[in-house]
Structures are given as C-alpha cells and as structure tokens.
Amino acid sequence: MKLTVLLFLSLVVLSHPLLSQIYLAPDGDDNNPGTFLLPFATFPKAISEANPGDTIYVRGGVYDLTNTITITAVKNGTANQFYTLTAYQNEIPILDFSAQPFGLKGISLQANYWHFKGLNIKGAGDNGMDINFGSYNIIEQCKFYENRDSGLQLSHGSSYNQIINCDSYFNADPPDYGDADGFAPKLTVGTDNYFYGCRAWVNCDDGWDGYLRGADSVYTTLENCWTWGNGYLKDGTDPGPQANGNGFKMGGGDNSNGDSLMHHMYLRNCVAFANKNKGFDQNNNLGSMTLFQCTGYSNITANYRIQRALVPGQTLTVKNCVSYYGLVQLGSFAIQETNSWLPPFVVASDDFLSLDTSLASAPRQADGSLPEIDLLHLAEGSDLIDAGVDLGFPFFGAAPDLGAFESNYVAVIGGLTELVEQFQLLQNYPNPFNPETHIIYLLSTPDRVTLSVFDVMGKHIRTLVDGQRQSAGEYSVTWDGTNESGIQVAAGVYLYRLELENGMAEFRKMFLIK
Ligand SMILES: [Ca+2]
Ligand SMILES: [Ca+2]
Ligand SMILES: [Ca+2]
Ligand SMILES: [Ca+2]
C-alpha cells in the first residue's frame, strides 16, 4: 500500500513531461496542468502537450472555434504509440466552427497515427476535417455535419487511413453548392484508405466522391457503408445540377485530356438509395471496380451506372447485388453473377421487410455500429435468399443472400424459407481494445463450436475455441491480442468468426489499438 502511494506521488510530481492522459474541457484553462480536475481549454494546448501514446480526453459540451486545428508531422505517432484524441466516456464534445470564415477548415490532420474518437465536428468554413499528408490514422465514431465543404476529405497522398462508424451529413458549400460531399477520398488522395460502417446523407454534392485530379492508381475500400438523399440541402431543396447528387461516386477524373485516371474501388455490403442522381456511379473511373453484395434502391437517374470501357486489364465485377426501383446500366464488359436484375430473379416490394427509408438515420448502437433496422432487409419467402454465389464471406443457410443484408431466413424445398437462428455472436467489448477483449455468443441448441481470429486479409491468427461441443447457453471468451505463438499482433482491424458443426458461421470485426 505504502509503495503504491509513493509511486503515485512520484508520478504526480513528475507528471508534466510524462503525462499519459490529458484533459480538455470547454470551461478549462490553458494555465491548468491538463488533469481531470484542472483541464486545459484549447485543442492546440492539449495537442502541444501530448506525446506519442498519450490520450487527450475531450469533455462534453460545445467548443466555439474559429481557428483551424492543425496537427503537423511534428506530432507523428507510431504504429505502437498512437496519439488518441477522444470523447471522455460517453460525453459528447461538439467542435462548433460555425463562426469560422468561409474557406477555413475545421481540423487539418497532417500527421500519422492519430486516433480520433467520438467528436462532433460541425459548421467549418471548408472541410470539417481534411486529412492531408496524414496516413495510418483512425477516425472513429465521429460526426461531420453542416460543414461548408466536404465533411471529411482525404488529400495530398493520405493513405492507409481507417474511417470507422462515422456519419457525415448536411454538408453544403454556399453559394454554389457544387462540392460538399460526405466523405471525399478524392483529388490528390493516397491509397488504401478504408471506410467501414459509415453513413453519408443529404450532402449537397455526393455521399462519397472518389474523383481524382493529381492522383492515379489508388485503392479505396468501403464495407457496410450507407448513403442516401445526396444532391439536396438540409431543407430538402435542390440547389441545381452542380450539386451532383450521387451516392457512391467511384472516380475517376475528367479523363478529357487523354489521361486515364484509375481509382480502384472495392465496395461490399454497401447501400445507396434515394439519391438525386446515381447510386453507384462510375463517373469516368477507368480503374477496377468490385461491387459485392450491394443494394441500390430508388436512385433517381440510376441505381448503378458503369458503362465506360476501362483501361485494358482493369475489371468491373458485380456479384450478389440488388437493384430495386431504379435503372442498372452496366457495360457489356462487366463480370456479373447472381445479381437481382439477372434471370431468374423478380424483385418487388414484398422482397423486403421494409422500404421505410426514414429508418436509415436512426441512432447508432452503443458500440458505434450501424443501427439494426429492417430497411432493405429481405423478407421471408424472397427469392433473393440463399440465391447468391459464395464470395468467401460467412452466410446463413446454403448460400449468401443477394444484397447488403444477409437474412436469418434460409431457403428450403419448394421455394419456401424458414427462420433459423442457432446462435448469436455479439460485438466484442471493449472495442477498440488493448490489450484484451471479450467475445460473447449464445447457442440455442448444443453444437460444436469453433471461434477463430483472422486478420483483414483472412489470414488465421488464433483459434480461441477449437471445435468443442458446448451445450445451449451463453459463453464469454477472452482474446489477449496474441497469435498462436503467444506473440502480440499489430494494431488494426481483426475479424472473429464463430462456426458451428454444420458450417453455419458469422463473423464480426474488432479493433486492436496500441
Ligand atoms: Ca459537384
Ligand atoms: Ca463531389
Ligand atoms: Ca422476389
Ligand atoms: Ca443465406
């Protein structure tokens, strides 16, 4: 006990240069030491005091800001020591840049290995956040809204950033209203940026925009992302044709000067609906595009339009996708399999549990993941259930379903379906985590269970439950972040997959931070 107290005191005495936790609050003071009880007031002060591995806790409340928060490469973290800038617990910090002059950005992130979490960024005079010259950053559970250009932009070679469970909406650039997208990995963006579980709605230009100018042959991946209602202002008015109104604009450049810009796009389980223009839009992208298990609904010009021939050697692959109430315009070069617009499928409103698009902006779940809603999920009896081709991802029943949402129904003889739910695999907690996390699952009947961890490339990392027979009930398994050899693995996204004896399986993502 005495030793603990002594250690504690010595840490307090030495704390200033060794701070690992820095606090920031709207009623703080930059003359404070930046502790929980005596927090700093400004972002620049907190950032200047932080070292790699430190966490800056941002208390809830409104921060009225006019200057751009700029984080330069002087503050680069490392793969093992991120800088973390996060909302404190469940508090809601609102970085309100509404008083900024037009043209100033909210946050300019020019550094590597930063982890932003839980911040609301609104009203900036330009981008809410621009990651420029910044790579390997994680932007998680942040909201970007009512900014006067794109909510989150990636530029100047920014690469390997992960945008997880973020929302971007009501962004609009007066007076022209021609540029503000929800998420903009565009122009000079770098490669291998990754979006997961993000939503973009009612941005005046596009939901996502991958238009290139100055970059070429870059890769962007989107999984479980939704976008809708783009091309309009928050009040529902249409500011004109310069407000393009595409959901996922996948490229590519004007390609009017003989250039052949390629933005290689991979979209899986993505949804676009009710956009003013196209849902999934080539926009002259001449690179490879892969659309797996996507759903387009009620986009006014077309649900899918990818018609212009690609650079030789590049491919357009569209599999297990759904279109309802909108055009599909794909070039004959498209590699297609089991899409809902191909025979023998017939798509009608009764294929879906719900077409109530107002559900899509529902609040997220406590862990930041997308809300569980019925919109565009398949209904019992749909011929789209178990109708897809196996693309290597877990599914219920005999085959993957078509579209973005794998249902709990499986096809049985005679074109009927029945509900099965033999297990539930829950989101791990804590998540993100370091060093360990817990995975909980439920079995409704006794079964043999295998629970394994993979990296995002599908490489096996660790088996946690190895085919053991378990009775019905609830199980909790802890993963300590090590591989089969007991070695700590690197920070990043991992998948855990639960498989039953009959091959039925489900996986979820988890997020190891260092
Ligand atoms: Ca535009
Ligand atoms: Ca745009
Ligand atoms: Ca049908
Ligand atoms: Ca299925």
Per the structure block, which two tokens stand in for 246? 């595409």
Dist. CA 273–CA 263, nearest whole Å: 22
Q: How far is CA 96 from CA 100, 145, 498, in A?
A: 9, 10, 42
Question: pLDDT value at position 141?
Answer: 97
Token pair belonging to 492: 């990043």
232 CA from centroid of ligand 1 (Å): 12
> Do you know the residue count of the chain?
514
Q: Domain boundaries in the chain?
A: 423-512
Q: Considering only CA atoms, which of 234, 162, 240, 228 is closest in space to residue 196?
A: 162
Rounded distance from Cα 434 to ligand 3 centre (Å):
45
Peptide bond into 185 cis (omega under 30): no
Closest C-alpha to 282, from 225, 334, 213, 229: 334
The pLDDT of residue 238 is 98
Q: Which residue in 143, 249, 276, 514 is the catalytic one?
A: 249
Q: Cα dist. 189→192, 220, 364, 377 in Å?
A: 10, 10, 28, 33
- Give residue 254's pLDDT: 73
Nearest to 267 by CA among 106, 391, 179: 391
249 is catalytic: yes
Nearby residues of 279 by Cβ (< 8 Å), 6 or more positions away:
246, 247, 248, 272, 273, 296, 297, 299, 302, 303, 304, 326
Are 441 and 423 in contact by the 8 Å Cβ rule? The answer is yes
- What pLDDT does residue 443 have? 72
Confidence (pLDDT) at 29: 98
Most distant CA pair in the chain: distance in Å?
77
Ligand of minimum distance to the alpha carbon of 382: 3
Report whether the peptide linkage leading into residue 33 is cis, meaning its omega lies within 30 degrees of zero: no
* 83-87/114-117 β-pairing: parallel
pLDDT at site 231: 98
122 CA → ligand 1 middle, Å:
21
Residue 385 and residue 410 in contact, taking contact as beta carbons nearer than 8 Å: yes
φ and ψ at residue 395, rounded to 5 degrees: -155, 160
The mean pLDDT values, 10 residues at a time, for the chain of 514 residues are 39 52 98 97 98 97 98 97 97 98 98 98 98 97 98 98 98 97 98 97 98 95 97 97 97 76 97 98 96 98 97 97 98 98 97 96 89 92 94 80 85 62 84 92 81 90 91 80 94 92 86 92
Q: Given this model, what pLDDT does residue 163 score? A: 98
CA distance 429 to 121: 26
In this prediction the pTM is 0.81
Q: Could you tell me the two tokens for 115?
A: 């982890």
Kind of pairing between the strands at 328-330 and 302-306: parallel
How far is ligand 3, taken at its centre, from the CA of residue 351, in Å?
A: 5
**Å from CA of 381 to ligand 1 middle:** 41
The ligand that comes nearest to the alpha carbon of residue 504 is: 4
pLDDT of residue 472: 63
The arrangement of secondary structure in 423-512, i.e. its CATH architecture, is: Sandwich (2.60)
What 3-state class would DSSP assign to 296? Answer: strand
